[in-house]
Amino acid sequence: MRIYSLQDFIRYLEKTGELIRIKTEVDARLEVVEISIRALREGMPALLFENVRGFRFPLAMNVLASEKRIELALGKHPDQLGNELITFMEEALPPKPKLFFKHPGIVKRLFCTLPKTIARPPSQQVISNPNLNELPITTSWPEDGGRFITLPQVFTCDPRTGKRNVGMYRMQVFDEKTTGMHWQIQKGGGFHYYQAKKMQKEFQIAVALGTDPALLLATVAALPEGIDEVMFSGFLRGKRTRMAKGKTISMLVPADAEFILEGTVHLSELRMEGPFGDHFGHYSNAAEFPVFHINVITHRRNPIYPATVVGRPPMEDKYLGNATQQILGPLIRLIHPEIHDLWAYYEAGFHNLLVVSVEERYRKEAMKTALSVMGEGQLSLTKCIITVSEDVNPRDFHAVLKAIRENFDPAYDFIMIPKVPLDTLDFTSYKMNLGSKMIIDATRDESRNAIQKDGLRLSDFERLMKIIDTRIMDWKILDETLLVVTVPDNGKEIVAKLTKSPEIIGPKIIAAVSPDVNIHDLEQTIWGIFTRFDAERDIVFTQEKLVGVSPIFRGKMGIDATWKTGYPLPLVMPDEIIDKVNKRWDTYWK
């Protein structure tokens, strides 16, 4: 089936039993969000809300919130597509004529990268004055600063070169024709805005709402700067992307989108935007960002408005992010042949934890690789990199912990990098866009003696937890490597006690988390640890000293990952909304 639009895909999902139409009247503020979160976690199909209170347009959610729907969108598993792409690229250097016959599928996709311009696009069937109040724009969390457009595909052009970028940045609705434009650091649209300000040149943009899955996946993919997402979407789809001339701007816009918002961002205007419940599982604080002024809204005759929810994992971005790294991840071998595989953990908001498996051809090559990766595009925002040997699966957190247990010695294998750019959404340093990073090298080093692996029995830990500090509420040890303790407060003090205790033998890392983290659930444990510590301030070791200006660490590593005063609040749905959805749950599916 040819899928050019969101509506094409929705019909396909419905045909395959992967979509439910909800006819019950629902509220776009919080209620639809709670429904979609619960539906995702119960493995239910995508949702089409046909009766959103106060709005005439239907609302689609969870459209790509499963591995099956991702595979339906791409026509194959993203791992398979990624392996086919890297195999082709590796064999294409130098190019050989027989290559085109050996890989006909990839070659066909490559020929589909050139967009096609059409004269009468469905996305411009209706042209109207801007009025965002007509769209069922959602409010996801109770302390959000207002309604937010959560699946916008923002089209910008570099004012110097004309090169296009398509990115996804949340947009807070200020009124019927203006929104915020949340350009985080290291984003293509933000770079174009920077150049426009530098040149004092009018900055036109277009925002597409509701496109086919290929263009959506291309939009969220961490492509190298300067690579056109529209062209990449043609590769993913295996069909050329259809574009059309904008009505009020000198840009091409997606011909098959549900809605197009055309307008400009004023170069000298900033406005407070936020707070917003984001994918780190906490609110991001309000701050000043540029303002988007809409000239016109065009749409299909019977459009569908799309939305997603971000928050404490798992959410839909788990499937979007995993798919794009499965497709693009192998390509890093073109510039880093020593890398066998890499994986960013959705549980930690992707940017907070990256594991890289490396074939070391000389001593400490993995550390060199980690430092290099920290300078690569979106990967430069990574807070924690763990390197492992090439036979360790970086997607298996248990295997990663085992590698740390067997190979990690902080005296040789730990680097902390302070005062560097960090993801805009990271709040742990209390400074927007700045923070600290760390590298843990857990690759095998044959030149060193094997690290002692003896540990304590579980009964010994039970006794010690009660003796060392009575404030420890709960504890769990993962793979004899990571000891996680739940504490009500004073996390750093308790972690310091545990790391310096000579009676605790075995765990290489000890982490303290707050009571809202379920340490008996691996997904929530990873989230609770890696979203709540600053490497410079919150890490301690059994022994710490300076040799010249170089810090030397020995023994156990401790992480204070407790929630701290000054952090934004974690995301929690109000009890009244949970109760409302509980009472109405059966009515949604009639």
DSSP 548-565: TTEEEEEEEEEEEES--T
How many domains does the chain fold into? 3
Distance between CA atoms of 164 and 569, rounded to whole angstroms? Answer: 36
* DSSP 3-state of 508: coil
pLDDT of residue 451: 61
Distance between CA atoms of 37 and 195, rounded to whole angstroms? Answer: 39
561-574 pLDDT, tens digit per residue, is: 999 999 999 999 99
The answer to whether residues 135 and 281 belong to one domain is yes
Chain centre to alpha carbon of residue 164? 22
pLDDT of residue 317: 96
**Which of 141, 129, 435, 140 lies closest to 299, judged by CA?**
129
Instruction: List CB contacts of 499: < 8 A, sequence separation 6 or more.
Output: 510, 540, 541, 542, 555, 556, 557, 558
Tell the residue number behind the tokens 């724009």, with chain if given.
137
pLDDT of residue 555: 93
* DSSP 3-state of 456: coil
The answer to whether residues 223 and 80 belong to one domain is yes
Q: Which of 382, 410, 442 is the last residue of a domain?
A: 442
The answer to whether residues 71 and 210 belong to one domain is yes
Angle between helices 213-220 and 316-328 (to 10 degrees): 80
Q: Is residue 587 part of a domain?
A: no
Q: Are strands 482-486 and 539-547 parallel, antiparallel or unpaired?
A: unpaired
What is the reported pTM? 0.94
Q: Is residue 341 part of a domain?
A: yes
Distance between CA atoms of 52 and 138, rounded to whole angstroms? Answer: 10
Query: Is the bond preceding residue 121 a cis peptide, omega within 30 degrees?
Result: no
The residue ranges of DSSP E strands in 255-304, in sequence order, are 259-273, 276-277, 283-284, 287-299
Four-residue CA torsion sign, 292, 213, 106, 222: positive
Q: Taking the CA atoms of the chain, what radius of gyration do you get in angstroms?
A: 25
328-374 pLDDT, tens digit per residue, is: 999 999 889 999 999 999 999 999 999 999 999 999 999 999 999 99
Cα–Cα distance list, 96 to 200, 296, 436 (Å)? 47, 49, 46
In which domain, by residue range, is 260 found?
A: 6-306
The answer to whether residues 172 and 289 belong to one domain is yes
The answer to whether residues 438 and 467 belong to one domain is no
The answer to whether residues 234 and 342 belong to one domain is no
Q: Are strands 384-389 and 354-358 parallel, antiparallel or unpaired?
A: parallel
Distance between CA atoms of 588 and 581, rounded to whole angstroms? Answer: 9
**Which of 210, 307, 293, 222 lies closest to 254, judged by CA?**
210
Q: Is residue 574 part of a domain?
A: no
Query: Is the bond preceding residue 570 a cis peptide, omega within 30 degrees?
Result: no
The answer to whether residues 433 and 462 belong to one domain is no
**End-to-end C-alpha distance for the chain, whole angstroms:** 29
Query: Which residues, given as ranges, of the chain have pLDDT below 70?
Result: 1, 92-97, 99-100, 449-459
Q: Which two tokens stand for residue 461?
A: 């830990």
Helices then strands, each counted (H, E), the chain: 18, 28
Distance between CA atoms of 346 and 322, rounded to whole angstroms? Answer: 7
Distance between CA atoms of 128 and 260, rounded to whole angstroms? Answer: 11
Q: Which two tokens stand for residue 175?
A: 């009124």
pLDDT of residue 458: 65
Give yes or no for a contact between 508 and 556, defined as CB atoms under 8 angstroms apart: yes
110, amino acid identity:
L
Instruction: Spot the catalytic one: 212, 228, 256, 278.
Output: 278
The answer to whether residues 188 and 80 belong to one domain is yes
Transcribe 422-439 into DSSP letters.
--TT--TTSSTTEEEEEE
**CATH number of the domain within which 478 lies:** 3.40.1670.10
- 158 assigned to active site: no
Query: Is the bond preceding residue 515 a cis peptide, omega within 30 degrees?
Result: no
89, amino acid identity:
M
**Which of 314, 299, 397 lies closest to 355, judged by CA?**
397
The answer to whether residues 104 and 244 belong to one domain is yes
The answer to whether residues 500 and 529 belong to one domain is yes
Q: Is residue 203 part of a domain?
A: yes
Distance between CA atoms of 449 and 418, rounded to whole angstroms? Answer: 30
The answer to whether residues 473 and 437 belong to one domain is no
The answer to whether residues 131 and 269 belong to one domain is yes
**Which of 186, 182, 209, 204 lies closest to 291, judged by CA?**
182
Q: Which two tokens stand for residue 164?
A: 């296009």
Q: Is residue 584 part of a domain?
A: no
**CATH number of the domain within which 200 lies:** 2.30.110.10
Q: Is residue 325 part of a domain?
A: no
Give yes or no for a contact between 299 and 135, defined as CB atoms under 8 angstroms apart: no
Give yes or no for a contact between 363 and 445, defined as CB atoms under 8 angstroms apart: yes
Q: Is residue 266 part of a domain?
A: yes
* DSSP 3-state of 265: strand
Q: Which two tokens stand for residue 149?
A: 């457009």
pLDDT of residue 503: 86
pLDDT of residue 388: 98
Q: Is residue 1 part of a domain?
A: no
